[in-house]
Amino acid sequence: MPTKVIAVANQKGGVGKTTTAVNLAACLAALGQRVLLFDLDPQANATSGLGLEKIEGASAYRILLGEGLLLDKIKPTAFERLEVVPSEMDLCAADLELARLEDHLLRVAGVLKPVLECARFDVVFIDCPPSLGVLTLNAFAASDGLLVPLQCEYYALEGISMMNRVLTQLRENGVNPRLDIFGVVMTMFDGRTKLSNEVVGEVRNLLGARVFETVIPRSTRLAEAPSFGKPIIHYDKYSSGSAAYELLAQEVLTRLKTTQ
């Protein structure tokens, strides 16, 4: 099966975007998939969440400007079948620099091409910045689909409507005609509150089968894991957060196989 590229994105911060990117990548790797996590967020939380240092010059910044190959930036992690393109602060300048270049929305698609052609990975996740800037739009242009984490709160649906508008524009402008929402995952769910249950119900009514069955609970162990540089299944395998991401990975794998 050809390598699938999935952008993990939400323009709102604090919704569990990087937590989802890191833990889903790790769970799919544990299921036997060869996974690349491309950290495109200058905050580099996915990089540190996988136990890698933020090292000057390690990101894709120079590659996006046309200097070198992305394959040379791929680093192994401590976890089998999971590799990463790290990020660091220099990516902050990329939004400005890329905007001046020709085909500025297609730079990520261009640098990913050799990675996809070598068939080294089954799936590539791109952890996007929490904005709809040039880097995020580049990720959208390079992706087969978007995975959108939505926090269980009332403003959740506003983010989806804005993202849908952007997707429609990118499709209609010919930047990425195949782009669609791969799936929506509800995060920070607290089953004790009426609000969490109402929001999940509302999102399911609106988006139907696009919403994954698995919901990710609000969890102290999930919040702790990044400070140890480990995905939750390697930090506390028997926690509720670990169980949730393992179930989500099974759903994602099924969906990847049925979207060939």
Q: What are 37's strand-pairing partners?
A: 84, 125
Q: Which domains does the chain have, with CATH numbers?
A: 4-258 (3.40.50.300)
pLDDT tens, residue by residue, 183-209: 999 999 888 888 888 888 888 998 999
Average pLDDT over residues 221-230: 94
Residue 46: pLDDT over 90: yes
User: Are 60 and 40 contacting, i.e. CB atoms less than 8 angstroms apart?
Assistant: yes
Look at residues 214, 233, 160, 150 and name the one whose alpha carbon lies nearest to residue 187: 150
Q: What is the CA radius of gyration of the chain?
A: 17
pLDDT tens, residue by residue, 102-140: 889 999 999 999 999 999 999 999 999 998 899 999 999
Please report the pLDDT score of residue 33 as a whole number: 97
- Coil, helix or strand at residue 31: coil
Please report the pLDDT score of residue 152 as a whole number: 84
Please report the pLDDT score of residue 191 as a whole number: 81
Report the alpha-carbon distance of residue 106 to residue 218 in Å, rounded: 36
**More confidently predicted of 74 and 160:** 74
Question: What are the start-end ranges of the H helices in 100-180?
Answer: 107-117, 134-142, 156-172
pTM over 0.75: yes
Look at residues 57, 116, 121 and name the one whose alpha carbon lies nearest to residue 86: 57
Residue 260: pLDDT over 70: no
Average pLDDT over residues 199-220: 92
Look at residues 260, 237, 255 and name the one whose alpha carbon lies nearest to residue 23: 237
